Structure 1
């Protein structure tokens, strides 16, 4: 767009003789390429700027820009770049950022790794200030609980959900315990009540027993209760979100697998690909209404227009009535009837779908999506891109069953889409062979809930920073809500295939 055209209009750096103007031109260019989703190119330009800076303050500010751009690059993209020929300066920055991510800023991990980094990159520009500051920050802001209380509802309707989360959490607890040299964290597991007053008594008793960090609950009603407190006595990481966003509650962090996050990121993705006019098709359920609202609000807030919305009967198989209304084919057929009545004889007529649309957002499970895609094609919408949430992801594992999903673009967590080299995924399948697909994501949530604990405060203080875990590239906003940037995929011949994303990765919803 306009930013890209402005970048083309900038003079070539080699044509500028004054070093001050060179630094200014590089600065403008680096901000521009970052804005159009090219953080690696921005880093390269910022490294060049270093040559023209004179004061420590200028250099430190430039290094902060470099770090911000590095944090916008996905970990797989960093690894790919390191596998190619690079300058020593760029390699040093990339590896330093990788250290910060993989150590989770735990002092016990980051200190030996940065010591090793200094040996490899002696004299690197980040060595004098930036690497030292990372060490100091890791000691200052990471959370190191001595006793964690895991409060989940192990009886009742959420029993299987709680069991899957607990299995993932316990796996991470014992896995990391074997790796750490520090004293083991104590762990108390509590069958949390869903009654507010009973839960509150359990919560206070857990603290009385020595818990200095609490994980849970799941129930939105209980999370609403916690959010309504002025502050919590100990840091608490809930595994769902309150129904309403409010002013931050001290020590409250919220983390979960909200489908609304996915709908919002689909809106980001579609707009980044130039889709500005959308229609939505969702089931006649409360869940469908939530996703339709999340997508529409995000899409229109960023300049898109939702020009039509319809619901379909989720328990049925024929959605043609809803699809015809969505595409204005019913109006087209009405015009034919009127013309025939006027002239008194049949007319040759080709129904024509609406032309003021360039994408379809659907909220559907895999069964519904397998029915919707062919019906869209039948009703002359075969050229419209279709976007969906991870709920379309099939558990059949049979490409022949899933060919009707071909071409639908959707987002999902790395655990589901990029698990071939994931040791956590392989071990979970080994330890719990029955970790079936309906609950598979919850194992990942449990693992990440444990591993996210040390980084929560750092991520909240530095909203631009992220950690790459099994449920996505995670950040924490100023309200303590964990945001997930997900992977993009499609179905091709009935098999999921990862897609390249605009700007290397989707931005987590704001």
Structure 2
């Protein structure tokens, strides 16, 4: 307070004395006597007035924010610009599902002692595919036994409650159902009647589509593969008297002759599953005298290894020591992928040559052999294969293939259930599938399997 009064007093004295500064800059806080007009302090310089700053440029328009739509349980998603709002709003409110409901019946011989394990593998694959993409579909598993009448009775009851039926699995059951008057709903059979695909075979009913794993169809495709590699070559087909091998040999021969090329067939004895050593010696001599353009093995993997070992130049042909059986510990084959001499003849086969599941031979008897098999077995990095779980417990190669059949059976049934008539293709785990169903005539199904070549005892896919 005193300092304020002093300032006011100082200002008054300065005005009275003519002091030029309003502040008490003289010693003692007062203007010096006689300082008026002569010893006044210079006035402080006048600062120029501050210029206003230029206006900043306008902010650029920010890009539209990216919005992520996350559907939470119990929360309806916003309508999409690609879907009509009315349909999507109704679907979100439960008034209209994305696809109408479909009831599927899976008819399998799960009570059969002989086919129970195979049926369970198909069921596991089918349900794995359903769990991944239910798509408003309900599945009822219908158990049957082996007897055809049991299967027909179960089918008749299933038709009353199901929209589409998948099954039966047994060849005889499929034949009985195809010949019966029961078919009234879309039905996907998991096998083929005897003689299906051959000349003169009766067509299936219009409501039935058969999509089983046919080794005979594989043999026909192998014939086409071999014909593309070796046009107009003479093929020698080698099999045993086992029924399934005879069917495979006949299917290859028919397709090969259809291509206009010559074919020769040889059937070897196989006591206890092993090829006859004396017969292998005779076969070797015959091939030396008149070699064909290629060989086709309609046999199993072990028997084909015996054959390849017998044709190798390292195997003795002396009749006193015909060591060709795998049970007799054949010497290892030479290092090249295809042994020299007769062992270098091009050799083709079916998926029967792929034991799979880690059971392929670490030796090289089959290296260079070409075959067909399912993507599930030889293309584990295939996009369609990678999305489905593999069985937890180790299974045989045949059970793995049936598991894959179950996956593709669901995918085909799902498509037919939502689109009962039309033609479509699927990149399946059992091959490239093409289906024509519900067009008024007999349904058609085609499966193209990828080709593979054996390297270091393991089939590796070739081509696209």
Q: Is it true that 1:148 corresponds to 2:111 in the alignment?
A: no
CA distance in structure 1 between the aligned counterparts of 2:300 and 2:347, rounded to whole angstroms: 14
Q: Is it true that 1:388 corresponds to 2:345 in the alignment?
A: no
- Hey, which bits of structure 1, 4+ residues long, moved more than 6 A? 457-460
Give yes or no for contact 2:281–2:310 (8 Å, CA) kept in 1. no
Match of 2:215 in 1: 259
CA distance in structure 2 between the aligned counterparts of 1:482 and 1:496, rounded to whole angstroms: 26
CA distance in structure 2 between the aligned counterparts of 1:215 and 1:476, rounded to whole angstroms: 15
The partner residue of 1:226 within 172, 177, 180 is 177
Match of 1:305 in 2: 262
Once the two structures are TM-superposed, the CA of residue 496 in structure 1 deviates from its matched residue by: 2.2
Point out which structure has higher relative CO (alpha carbons under 8 A, 6+ apart). Answer: 1
Match of 2:243 in 1: 286
Q: Is it true that 1:482 corresponds to 2:433 in the alignment?
A: no
Match of 1:295 in 2: 252
The partner residue of 1:358 within 293, 310, 319 is 293
Match of 2:151 in 1: 199
* Change beyond 3 A, Cα 1:400–1:461: closer
CA distance in structure 2 between the aligned counterparts of 1:146 and 1:449, rounded to whole angstroms: 15
CA distance in structure 2 between the aligned counterparts of 1:158 and 1:223, rounded to whole angstroms: 14
Match of 2:397 in 1: 437
Give yes or no for contact 1:148–1:186 (8 Å, CA) kept in 2. yes
CA distance in structure 2 between the aligned counterparts of 1:488 and 1:354, rounded to whole angstroms: 28
Q: Is it true that 1:449 corresponds to 2:385 in the alignment?
A: no
Give yes or no for contact 1:254–1:482 (8 Å, CA) kept in 2. yes
Give yes or no for contact 2:384–2:429 (8 Å, CA) kept in 1. no
Q: Is it true that 1:471 corresponds to 2:430 in the alignment?
A: yes
Match of 1:86 in 2: none
CA distance in structure 1 between the aligned counterparts of 2:100 and 2:372, rounded to whole angstroms: 33
Q: Is it true that 1:407 corresponds to 2:368 in the alignment?
A: yes
The alignment's TM-score, normalised by the length of structure 2, stands at 0.65
Q: Deviations over 1:240-292 (max 9, x none)?
A: 01113313312101111111011101100111112421001112210111011
Match of 1:72 in 2: none
Match of 1:46 in 2: none
CA distance in structure 2 between the aligned counterparts of 1:304 and 1:144, rounded to whole angstroms: 52
CA distance in structure 1 between the aligned counterparts of 2:269 and 2:100, rounded to whole angstroms: 49
The structure with the largest alpha-carbon Rg is: 2
The alignment's TM-score, normalised by the length of structure 1, stands at 0.60
Segments of structure 1 that go 5 or more residues without pairing to the other structure are: 1-111, 117-142, 331-350, 505-510
Give yes or no for contact 1:360–1:386 (8 Å, CA) kept in 2. yes
Q: Deviations over 1:178-231 (max 9, x none)?
A: xx4xxx2222111123222222221111122x1011111111121112222457
Q: Deviations over 1:409-463 (max 9, x none)?
A: 110010001013557557523x62334434111111000000012445979854x
* Change beyond 3 A, Cα 1:157–1:456: same
Aligned-pair RMSD on alpha carbons? Answer: 2.9
Match of 1:249 in 2: 205
1:131-146 correspondence runs (5 A): 146=102
CA distance in structure 2 between the aligned counterparts of 1:476 and 1:426, rounded to whole angstroms: 22
Q: Deviations over 1:22-80 (max 9, x none)?
A: xxxxxxxxxxxxxxxxxxxxxxxxxxxxxxxxxxxxxxxxxxxxxxxxxxxxxxxxxxx
Match of 2:358 in 1: 397
**224-233 or 286-295, larger mean C-alpha shift:** 224-233
* Change beyond 3 A, Cα 1:310–1:437: closer
Q: Is it true that 1:493 corresponds to 2:449 in the alignment?
A: no
Match of 2:389 in 1: 428
Higher helix fraction (1 or 2): 1
